């Protein structure tokens, strides 16, 4: 099952991230997919802000895992460099702990991901327009998608 949202400006993608954040609680996991310039960082920053993170959220490419303190802890993962590796970064603690987790390049750690999660794909449809495709896994995220897309 997929849900879609059209955004006509970065601010609308940020608004959507904010709406989603209001429904999240640890240990929720969200994966984020999209080409360079699609809006992954834009989305992640808005989500983090809505979760009460005051530090600047930047790409975690060189660190794999960045942890932020908001109203709840937030993990921001970019696992691009783990392609083909089976290194254990403490996945259980990350995915089943006390934080909300956002994962970029999640396909590289497919086997480690929890079954219940929300997959988000951002597609560029124009200069300032994007299609947000939401694929919830599990009843928790299906309920959230229904609430935030109606
Ligand atoms: N509808 C939109 N949603 C998200 N970003 C948008 C949108 N329209 C324009 N943009 C712009 O596209 C760029 C996306 O960059 P960024 O978030 O860094 O992408 P990524 O992290 O996926 O490489 C930003 O400059 C943002 O302002
Ligand atoms: Mg980025």
Q: What pLDDT does residue 62 have?
A: 76
Q: How far is CA 51 from CA 19, 44, 106, 125, in A?
A: 11, 10, 21, 28
| Domain parsing of the chain, residue ranges | 9-114
Ligand 1 centroid to Cα of residue 90, in Å, is 31
Tell me the per-residue pLDDT of 98-108, one tens digit each, with 9 for 90 and over: 999 999 999 99
Both structure tokens of 97: 């702990």
Q: Which of 70, 91, 7 is nearest to 43 (CA)?
A: 7
- Grade residue 133 by pLDDT with cuts at 50, 70 and 90: very high
Closest ligand 1 atom number to CA of residue 12: 1
3-state secondary structure of 44: helix
Domain 9-114 has CATH 3.40.50.300: yes
% residues pLDDT > 90 (the chain): 89
Whether pLDDT at 61 is above 90: no
Q: Which ligand is nearest to the CA of 43?
A: 1
What are the tens digits of pLDDT across the range 7-50? 999 999 999 999 999 999 999 999 999 999 999 999 999 999 99
Mutation to probe ligand 1, out of 4, 5, 10 (largest number of atoms < 8 A from CB): 10
């Amino acid at each position: 099952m997929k849900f879609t949202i059209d955004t006509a400006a970065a601010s609308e993608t940020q608004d959507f991230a904010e709406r989603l954040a209001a429904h999240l609680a640890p240990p929720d996991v969200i994966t984020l997919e999209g080409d360079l310039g699609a809006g992954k960082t834009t989305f992640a920053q808005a989500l983090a802000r809505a979760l009460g993170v005051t530090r600047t959220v930047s790409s975690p490419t060189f660190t794999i895992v960045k942890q932020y303190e908001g109203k709840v802890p937030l993990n921001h993962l970019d696992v691009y460099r783990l392609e083909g590796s089976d290194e254990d970064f403490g996945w259980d603690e990350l995915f089943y702990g006390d934080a909300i987790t956002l994962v970029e390049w999640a396909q590289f750690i497919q086997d480690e991901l929890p079954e219940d999660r929300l997959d988000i794909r951002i597609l560029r449809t124009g200069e300032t327009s994007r299609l947000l495709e939401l694929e919830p896994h599990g009843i928790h995220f299906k309920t959230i998608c229904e609430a935030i897309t109606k």
